[in-house]
Amino acid sequence: MIGKLVLEDGTVLSGTARGAQGCATGEVVFNTGMTGFQEILTDPSYCGQIITMTYPLIGNYGVSEIARESRKPYARGFIVRELAERPSHWRSEQTLDGFLKQHNVICLEGIDTRALTRRIREHGTMKGIICTDDSSVETLLTKLRQNVGDVPELVREVSTQQVYRIPGEKQRVVVVDFGCKENILRRLSHYGCDLTVVPAWTSAEEILAYNPDGIFLSNGPGDPKDVPYALDTVKQLIGKKPIFGICLGHQLLGLAFGADTYKLKFGHRGANHPVKDLASGRVYITSQNHGYNVDEQTMDACDLVVTHRGLNDLTVEGMQHRTLPIFSVQYHPEAAPGPQENEYLFVKFMELMTGGTKHA
């Protein structure tokens, strides 16, 4: 069966329909990772997006329970050059095609992913509609353009709906779940943290009532300016407890201190982004997935200093407050493609919660 991808600029690409059947709209983005397709699909930060994988063969090691980052995929669609039909790996439990069907994710195979990626790089991310039925291009383009201005509440879709606890024997940490990856919780648990995970809309008063030693602001999808309730909460938490933010949590901290954020042309999505730690001079290989960034030009008056910088485009990848025990990074240290070289950020958080002063 032939499927179509139609972009809002009128570009049409055809491929073989795999995964689920139907139509879905979303922001079309690309990821340059050679592996990690299951982690990418189940990363809640991809909610509302149609993901293009630039690596030509996807699915060759199959799908396994151990590799998921949330209870289900949140991506609206998936685009690949070639989908492996017979995976080969000792942990493989099912094919990627079967996984996509099971979770109702539409996929197109055989797309010229290089051409699509080049178009996104040249013109920026844009909305698209992926469809496996016989709808005409004109019909799909009309439907897409009618929905281009829609701003869905993505964070509410991916956040936990109720408070839950992961017991530990050391510091009490409240994790504000804007779309938290499970590996973040695993890394915090690895250091013995007693975790209380709360919904994104939890008030500062409720968070502080748990008497935490520290607060963790998680990753999540979309524009940080689309979650004003979360921003208000973060503002009220400043100065009360040590805070560690990742990705959306990082952006919300920037906004809370008075800095601004802006949309990147095509975002950072991949597993090999070089980031320099400005204090040590060391360069780390990082996993990234974000479409927005803190504007460095607006940080000077906020008592925020840049601690990490992306070497591909020199954007802000980490920051900390000059005097308060608050720091954040734009990338995913828990993903650790190094594979353990970004663990020091979790160590820093632990030290801040015990009264230490180590800087990133």
What residues are labeled active site? Answer: 247, 332, 334
Which residues, other chains included, contact 127 with Cβ-Cβ below 8 Å and sequence gap of 6+?
7, 8, 25, 26, 27, 28, 144, 147, 148
